[in-house]
Structures are given as C-alpha cells and as structure tokens.
A and B are shown apart, each in its own frame.
Chain A
Amino acid sequence: MDIFVGLASVLSDPVLLGWVFLAAIVGMIVGAIPGLTASAAIAMLLPLTFYMEPLPALAFLYVIGKSGRYGGSIAAILFNTPGTAASAATQLDGYPLAQRGMAGKAMKVATISSVIGDFVGEILLILGVAWIASIALRLGPPELFAVYFAAFIVIGSVIGKSVTRGLASAALGILVAMIGLDPISSTERFTFGSFDLTNGISLVPLMIGIFVLGEVFTQIESRGAKTEMVANDQGDAARNRLSWAEYKPCLPHVIRSSFIGAFIGMLPGLGSAIAAFVAYGEGKRRAKNPEAWGSGALEGIAAPEAANNAVSGPSMAPLLTLGIPGSTIGAILIGVFLIHGIQIGPTMFLTSRDLVFALFACGLIGIVMYGVIGYFGAAFVGRFITRIPTHVLYPIIFLTSFVAAYTSRGNLFDVYVMVAAGFAGWAMRKLHFNPAAFVISFVLAGGAEETFRQTMLMSDNGMMIFVTRPIALVFLLIGIAAMAARVRSVNRQARALAAGTSG
C-alpha cells in the first residue's frame, strides 16, 4: 500500500510536519475571518511556495484548503457570518446555538464532523483515485445539469412558512445570478452598460451583505428589545460540554453527508458550498426532528460541516488525473504542480507516484492536526467571544464585513454590492422573504444554466438527450420525486394546520 509508505516518509520528516502544522493553523485563521476564504489565502501564499520543495509546497496549500473549509464554521457559528461560502449552511443552526451560549458545543460538533467528513473523503481518494477519475470523465454536461437540478430541491428544506415567498426569493437569486456575461455566447446580460457588472455578482460580497449586514441592520432596528446573545457566565462550561449521547444522533447525518460531499467533490465545478447545502437539505428531509433544524439543531451543524470537508479529498482525483479542478483551491493547486514541473495527467501516477501518496498522507495528518487544535482551541475562543457585549460585537462585525468584502478580490465594486445586498437582506427579513433560498439558488443557477445550455447544444433532439443518458435521467427523476414528495408534505401540513385552527 503506497499510502503507508507515504505516511512513513512524511512522519519521519519533521520539517514537512512543521509545514503541515503551520498550514492547519493558518487555514483555521483565514477560514475564521469572514470573507477571507481559504482559496484567497492560498492564492496569496502561492508565491511563497515557489521557493519550497514540491512536496512541502503542495502539502502546505492542500492542508490550508482543508482546515480553511473547517475554519469557516467558527465565524458562521459565532457571528452568523460564513467565513467561507462553504460554511453558509452551518450558520443556520450554529448561530442560534451561539445565541443560547452554546457556541463551544456547536464548534465541537463542527470540528468532529469536519474531521470525519474529511477523513472519509481522503480515504475514498486514496482507495479509488483512478476509479473516481473514470466516473468524473463519464459525467458530461447533461449529467452535471441533472445533479444541479436535483440540488435545487434543497431550497425546499430551507423554505419557511410561506412557500410563495420562498419560491420568490429563489427566483430572485436566479435573476441576480444571470447578471454578467452569458456563459455560452459571452454577450452581456443585465449589465446596463456597467463594466463592473459584466463580471457578474460575486458570491462572497453578496453573502456577507445578505447574512451579515442584513443581520446587523436587523439588530439596529430592534435596539430597544434586542436579544441578548449570552445569559451569564455561570454554567458556561457545563452548557458547552459535548456528550456522546448528544453527538450520537449526528452520526448518521455525518456519514451520509460525507458521502454526499465526496460525490460532489468528484464532479468538476460544483464545490464545497453546494455540497454543504445539499447535505443540509437532505439531512433535514430525513431528520426525525426537522422542526428543530434552523433553530439550533446539532445535526444541522454536523451535516453541512461533514459534507464541505468531504469535498476536499475526492476533488483531487479529477484534478490530478484529468487536470479539471473540482474547486477553486484545486485550480490553484494545478498552478503549483505546473510551477514545480510536475505533469498532471494519467501518467502522473507512474511518474510521481511517491509524491502523490506522500501528499495524501500529509492530508491525513493535517486533518488530525486541525481536528485536535480545533476541538480544544475553538471552545476557548467561543467562551471568550460570547463574553463580548453585543454593543461592542456588532460594530466590529459591521467593520469586518466591509474589510472582508473588499479583500476577497481587492475590488471596491464588491463593497457596493455588499452594502446593496445588506439592505436587500434586511428587507427580506422584514418582509419574511427567505435569504437562504435566495443565496442557494444564486449559487446553483450559474452552473445549472451553463450545463443545461451545453447539453442543448450537444443534443440532436432537444430534451430527449436526458432520456438517452441513464445517469442524467436518474438524477432528474430523483429531483422530480423529491419535489413531488415535498409538495405533498407541504400540502399535508397546510391541511393539518387548517384543520387545527378550525377545530
């Protein structure tokens, strides 16, 4: 087994272990700072790695990617602001827990789930790298569209009381995603002659605006009757202790989400944000306590956190063997391989086999490291943060969101986008529209449109192409069936409610 050789050689190299350790810490920090994503940090640190040997360089960036995806959960739980796009789903349940003074517990769940998810992904990668690549190759635009289509169901799981408003929010998200260059013809859409809009709206400022600024505005408005974030210091430690009985119900969700994440990681272009949302949606659908999800269910943290980290490993398979990045971080890693003169492609496992398995070994070690640091460190940070009074905390968050929106791409236009999105998020909360549905459909719409139109160009007879491609057909049917089931349960609930009020 190549991986044991890899592990042995990595463990006997203290300098390499030092880089992996550093990466675990750096990744957590940048992940935890709202807006400063792991991929941005990797892009920034890339030049540094030119002076390093190939293996430490790759391991450093690879592990930053892993621990950064995990670090995003810290900000999501503490500030209701996703540190990375991948942790947007985590905040749905993480923040309510933090408000009840259980941030430490939420972060422990996030840590354990991330570690398990990451491990599952990494093991799948090590066992089946060639197999994963062959699957990825068979999935063309029709199959990818079908997966996007099925992923749209998750919107149903975040829609609250009003179905109409939820669907309207989703439609609005799709509309905003259409701004920019048409993915097929490269012509401008909804740009109104503005150059900045030809780029489209970036996810990071949009998300910070909707979730963070929107939250801050809501807090300002309800200043008189504000909700205190923590009660007192007494019993803090007791509240934040995580028992096996509490984590046990999370476990099935973690396992399922790990495989969802791993599967999405194999598909080029979908990425960890979508994995997290799909896992959350699927988890809520199958949960015994769906009503608790969204108001502080531990399972609601476990599911997306396991999924977004499980993406990391399998996304390396199409990257290494086919040169297709499964994520932004993957795209940057390709650059590192190129710089160090390592030829990506199927021949890589012949020419650089030792290096590849040593890199996977570094990944495994990195997971253990951020897991240990996170489990003990995050609880401490959580205790500290929850002692800050809200009138100090919210102005700081307000300021951070401006910095974060700017630093994600170094573009002032993104700050305007964030402010506009902030007012939109506040208005949506006020009018009971659904910010989560808006952001999810925004994330999915771009890829769904591109793959659908590619499919139509490939097809000789329009929609019939989906019938002739079995994998695509299966995913489309899953999507349709899940939607039908969803509509039925909504109808049933509505009837039950009507019966309840009349009787």
Chain B
Amino acid sequence: MQRRTFIKTGLSASAMLAAGPALAEWVPRRPINAILPYSAGGGTDALARAAAASADGILPVPLVIVNKPGSSGITGATEAAAARPDGNTVMVTSAGSFLLTSMLRDTDVNPFDSFETIAQIGNLTPAVIVPANSPFQSVQDLVDAARDAPGALRWAHNGRGGFHQVAGQSFLDRNELVAQDVPFKGGGPTRAAVIGEQVDFAFVGIQQAAGFENELRVLALAAPERDAIRNDVPTLAELGFDYVAVSSPIVFFAPKGTDPEVVSGMEAALKAITETDQFAALMRERGNVPAFLGGADTTARLRQMQQETQPVIDALKSQG
C-alpha cells in the first residue's frame, strides 16, 4: 500500500518519476485506447479491465479498453496494427491465441512483424474440466474411456485454432486418443456446455472454473507448473501424461514503429500496475495472479511457443 501511495505522489509531483527513469520521458496527454480484439466479458477482457482499473494513479490519463471483436481477434489486431504509432493506441490481447491464429490462417498481421511487444501482465492456462456428475474422477478415467471407445467422447473448446483447442488436440494426439471436438463461441458458452453435460469434457481456462466449484470438476492443468490459486489441481505432467504446454499470455502490444521511449515507458507503467495491490486483488477475484514479463522476455516466450506448436498447426492445416 505504501508503495502505491508513493507512486501516486511521485506521479502527481512530476510525471511518474517514481515508476522508473524511462517513464519520465514519456508523458501521455490523451487517454490511451487499448484495443481488445474480443468481446466484453471473456477471460482476456477480465484481465485487461483489471489492469485498466488499476492504472488509476499510475497513468495520468485513463486507460480505456475498446472491444473490437471479430474474426477470432484478427479484426482488432489489424486495426491496432494500422493505428498511428504514437502511443495513444495499443492492443491488449491473448497473445497465444493471436499467435496461433496468425500461424493457422494467412493473416496480414502477426505478433512479431506488426507489433512492438510492450509487456505481459498475466497468463491464461488451459485445464481439463468435466461436469460435477461426470464418471471421470481423474484424467486416467478419461483416457481409459477414450481408449475403450475411440471417437465416442465429445469435448468442448472455445473455437478451432484457439489455444484451448490446440492444447486439447495436442494432448489427445500425444496420447494417441481420438475424441470428437464441439466448438462453442467463447469461454462462457463452453463452460455452460460442460455444466449442462452437453459434452463429456472440455479444455477451458482454469479461471473459468472460479465460482463454479459445485458444478464442475477440474481434473488437471495443462501447464508445466501448478496454478497459483488452484494449487490443488495436478498438472498433466505430474500425472504422467504427455502434452504440449500451450497457454496464452495476456500481452500489451504497440503498433510497429512506436517510439522505443514510449514502449519502455508503457512497459514500466504496466510493471507498476501489475505490482499494485488492487491489481493483485482483482486478479485473485478472477482466479488468477499477476504475471509480469518484460517486452523482450515476452517475445522470446512467444517465439518458443511458435516453434513448439508448429507440428500441431501443420496437422490442423492439412485436415482443412
């Protein structure tokens, strides 16, 4: 709390000196529009809005989240990439989904050539969920059932080419399982399909399970480490199942050509935002935790994910 007050004082005194030296040289004068290429109410939206709400006092201008949904996030990304690179327009997106979509479809924009990476503020990790009444008590039960009757199980995700689908499909592929996927539009409807027992299981963000403890059972997390909040959920690796770590960092991007000073100023501001108590509290309410990563590290992480998912993407492409 003390630090936050300190930042606030520093800010009002002289242009955010407290947040870091780079900030001193970049003083936004107009509200910053952060294009969010998904509709309001989704997982990415929740985290981005938590950041925007916590920016009060760190940025001298409002950080406004502008939802520009369409075409699996490419509509907003295209608009953000074409925006004037003056720091007044940035994009905040689920970078894993953005990367995979740009790999899967011939899009005009991609995370590396069209944008400067500012920073990562959080993470979305896929988990295997089943309805509360499901006979599957563990991933092993699920795998056994899928082996006994290949193709009989139905599983939901929030759209083909998204990171949940790639995570789920690569888990099935690596374990030589066959199950039929049923795409839904977005996380909420996917979760509802599981609760309503329309499908046998689903790959959704672990955060989607928050508040639905009595309706859903989380079998495993598809990540190298346990979730900071739901640390009762084992990882697929712990359970001895092969998988590909596909997750999605929530990343702020600036249009290519944005002044490096502006980018590093924003990076510092985002770092300060992720360190506020308010952001941590908001993230916790969303079943998540802040996870700041600087611009360079974020880019490296996305590059690595690009290499690791290439085989899955190629397989998806050849299936048409």
Please report A residues at the B interface, Cβ cutoff 8 Å.
Answer: 43, 46-47, 50, 136-141, 180-181, 183-188, 195, 198-199, 268-269, 318, 322-325, 331-335, 338-339, 341, 343-348, 409, 450, 454, 457-458, 460
B217 lies within 8 A of chain A by Cβ: no
- The answer for the CA separation of A350 and B285 in the assembled complex, in Å, is 16
CA distance A344 to B46 in the complex (A): 12
CB distance from B44 to the nearest CB of A (A): 11
* A457–B180 touching, CB < 8 Å: yes
Instruction: Check: B231 CB closer than 8 A to any chain A CB.
Output: no
Q: Which of B40, B70, B198 contacts A332 (CB 8 A)?
A: B40
A48 to chain B, nearest CB (A): 10
27 contacts between A and B (CB under 8 A): A43-B67, A46-B40, A47-B52, A137-B192, A138-B196, A141-B182, A186-B104, A186-B161, A188-B105, A195-B78, A195-B108, A198-B71, A268-B189, A269-B185, A322-B188, A323-B41, A331-B39, A332-B41, A335-B45, A338-B41, A338-B45, A338-B46, A345-B211, A409-B68, A454-B182, A454-B184, A458-B199
Are B70 and A199 in contact, with the CB atoms below 8 A? Answer: yes
Contact B45 A324 (CB under 8 A): no
Q: A336 to B39, alpha carbons, bound, how many Å?
A: 13
Which single member of B52, B210, B320 contacts A343 (CB below 8 Å)? B210
Minimum distance in angstroms from A255 CB to a CB of chain B: 30
Shortest B65–chain A CB gap in Å is: 8
A38: min CB distance to chain B, Å: 14
Confirm or deny: B212 has a beta carbon within 8 angstroms of a beta carbon on chain A: yes
Contact partners of B40 in chain A: CB under 8 A: 43, 46, 331-332, 334-335
| B192/A47 in contact, CB under 8 A | no
The answer on a CB contact under 8 Å between A345 and B212 is: yes
Contact with A along B167-189 (1 / 0, CB 8 A): 00000000000001111110011
- Among B41, B189, B213, which residue has its beta carbon within 8 angstroms of that of A335? B41
Cβ of A347 to closest chain B Cβ, rounded Å: 6
Q: A324-B189, A334-B41, A341-B282 are in contact. Are A47 and B74 (CB under 8 A)?
A: no
A199 pairs with B75, CB closer than 8 A: yes
- Chain B residue with the shortest CB-CB distance to A47: B64
By a CB distance below 8 angstroms, the chain A residues around B181 are: 457
Beyond A185-B160, A325-B41, A335-B41, 16 additional pairs, beta carbon < 8 A: A47-B62, A50-B52, A138-B196, A140-B196, A141-B182, A141-B193, A181-B71, A181-B72, A184-B183, A198-B75, A199-B75, A333-B41, A334-B40, A338-B46, A458-B180, A458-B182
Which residues B37-80 have CB closer than 8 A to chain A? 39-41, 45-46, 49-50, 52-53, 62, 64-65, 67-68, 70-72, 74-75, 78
Q: In the bound complex, how far is the Cα of B154 from the Cα of A322, in angstroms? A: 21
Q: How far is the CB of A285 from chain B (nearest CB, A)?
A: 31
Q: Mark B187-207, 1 if CB is under 8 A from A, else 0.
A: 011011101101100000000
Q: Considering the chains assembled together, what is the distance between the CA atoms of A183 and B62 in angstroms?
A: 36
**Closest A residue by C-beta to B180:** A457
Task: Find chain A residues with CB under 8 A from B74 CB.
Answer: 195, 198
B214 at the interface (CB under 8 A from A): yes
Using Cβ atoms and an 8 Å threshold, which residues of chain B touch A318? 192
Chain A nearest CB, measured from B179 CB (Å): 11
Q: Is the CB of A186 within 8 A of B72?
A: yes
- Please tell me which one of the listed residues A139, A347, A450 contacts residue B185 in the complex, with CB atoms under 8 A apart: A450
CB proximity of B158 to chain A, nearest CB, Å: 11
**B85 interface residue, CB < 8 Å from A?**
no
B28 at the interface (CB under 8 A from A): no
In the assembled complex, B152 has its CB within 8 A of some CB on chain A = yes
List residues of chain A with CB within 8 A of the CB of B75.
198-199
**Distance of A331 Cα from B210 Cα, bound (Å):** 18
Give complex CA distance A423, B105 in Å: 33
Q: Is B215 an interface residue (CB 8 A)?
A: yes
Asked whether any CB of chain A lies closer than 8 Å to the CB of B230, the reply is no
From residue B12, how far is it (CB to closest CB) to chain A in Å?
18
Interface centre among B70, B193, B199 (most CB of A within 10 A): B70
Q: Contact at A183–B183, with CB atoms within 8 Å? A: yes
Minimum distance in angstroms from A382 CB to a CB of chain B: 35
| CB–CB B198/A323 < 8 A | no
Given A185-B320, A324-B189, A331-B39, answer yes or no on A338-B286 (Cβ-Cβ < 8 Å).
yes
Complex CA gap A332/B67 in Å reads 10
Q: Closest approach, in angstroms, between the C-beta of B162 and any C-beta of chain A?
A: 8
Q: Which residue of A lies closest to B65 (CB)?
A: A47
Contacts of B282 in A (CB 8 A): 341
Given the contacts A183-B185, A198-B74, A334-B41, A137 and B196 also touching, CB distance less than 8 Å: yes
Bound together, the chains give a CA A409 to CA B37 distance in angstroms of: 12
Instruction: Mark interface residues in B146-167 (1 if CB within 8 Å of A CB, else 0).
Output: 0000001010000111000000
Q: Could you say which residues of chain B place their CB within 8 Å of the CB of A458?
A: 154, 180, 182, 198-199
Does B103 have its Cβ within 8 Å of any Cβ on chain A? no
Q: In the complex the two chains form, what is the Cα distance from A191 to B191 in whole Å?
A: 31
Q: How far is the CB of A441 from chain B (nearest CB, A)?
A: 20
Residue contact B191 to A323, C-beta cutoff 8 Å: yes
For A139, the chain B residues whose CB sits under 8 A away are 196
Nearest Cβ distance between residue B306 and chain A, in whole angstroms? 19
A460 to B181, CA, bound (A): 13
Interface centre among B46, B211, B214 (most CB of A within 10 A): B211
Q: Does the CB pair B41–A187 fall under 8 Å?
A: no
CB distance from B111 to the nearest CB of A (A): 17
